[in-house]
Structure 1
């Protein structure tokens, strides 16, 4: 059925007519009545003014009505559709520490930093989570919830793409990130409590140690999947030439593996984008949580229809006005020339 989201906007519909009604009447000067040299023979001045005033009044009234209808936000409400509420609930914790700016990753044949690669891969991961509820935690010196658990995957992707290195410091608070995720899961009655933590280093900050966070996750039944990001080999140029280093030597794989296995999860090593494909298969195998069936009614916005029509009428009015003025000027010039010739 058709409905208007802002139906109260219709109260302003008679506003122009009230202004016109209450405006003081203007008197016609006698001199104006004498200025009729451009009229065709047999045409009265009053008749011309009346005829020319009707069309603008009709057009302006119609345009105003269409604008008010568009402002009232017309929308079409469809029939209710039942949607089964079945899916996974998981939090994503992404490291924003200073080491994530190291350019040791390959993405589509070009060298990028670790955060850029993480964003690209996690974006694809988020888009695959149709029917799942996702949340986003960003951490460095501390951890904070950027997006609570939601079905809106586009919003989670946008918030992740807007994250920048150094936003919350330069260090790595892995324990705080896990503790914050556990706290969020603890507020829900039914959930499979999955945390996916992506980091490239070791715990160097925070109020909770990784060991304490691990015990907290175990007690609350939170399954943690950890992902170590960073290449094993990298060539750098120096005064003595190029040499090979390990840019991921600070990555605490033992700690990440212990957290994952102790909580029932798994540790993954992401040296490149392809190695993250393994986590897709593992998470797809998780048993989804079945909840109550949700009902939704598809809503289609229709405001663009009256707005487009009003724009089209306004454009037509402007074009007609220009043409009429142009014709009048030509006609007036021709009459002036004929008058001068006759004299």
Structure 2
């Protein structure tokens, strides 16, 4: 049973905040934010469509990339309604149940992205360190098993946490630091034993993303050792280039996430607008940059994208020609 203290709004709601102190500029701030959402939605949808449509992209590396794009797409959709609602309509109030559901999806997809990045590191390790076994190990059934294992890992750890948090009492009517519900932001308003919820969130953060990050770093230690053992400089550069996109994806995901987590838990005097900016960077920048990075740095995807654009323009010219002949 939930209990709430009535403060500035309904006791069963929280107040979302976009950019504290910049409320008058929300309309102008919403323009770049909206553009980022559009880029994230279109970019990840395009990557998914290209990988599905192009048979030559039906390979392990691109299957894992499609998983990353799907997770980024879901993460973008999970925050879009409240972020644009606050910026466009000043719709700040959110019910506890809606806040709880959004918090669940935000953290679930964040942890899922961390797991997918770890699996992609294993894919690069196999491709560079064990190229002869790469095709034999990462077959369709193995990729499906890996995807299922990631999903089950989410269920086994997220569900108990959800059941635990359902029994925690929160103070209603409080003002949050972000335009979406985020666990380190909510635990400040727990009535009974807030340190338990804080410790639980920190443990999950360290266990989940920490073990994934350690696995990624260990994989790259082995990858770099293998690359350094290659005699030909051209082959070294070629092997390293296959990892550039993944290294960029890891950087744009983990750096904002770690910065935001430490800002919330260790730096209580940090201005709220800084926390808000970090949160938006953490949840928006990876979905925006990942499809751009992979499109620019991966020749196969770039060629498939250009071919798709050319075919669409050719169809457009054909349709215009048919309309002209009918006229």
Is TM > 0.5 for Structure 1 vs Structure 2? Answer: no
What TM-score results when the alignment is normalised by the length of structure 2? 0.28
Q: TM-score, normalised by structure 1?
A: 0.27
Task: Write 1 or 2 for the structure with the bigger share of strand.
Answer: 1
- Structure of higher RCO (CA pairs closer than 8 Å, 6+ residues apart): 2
Bigger Rg over Cα? 1
Answer 1 or 2: which has greater helix percent: 2
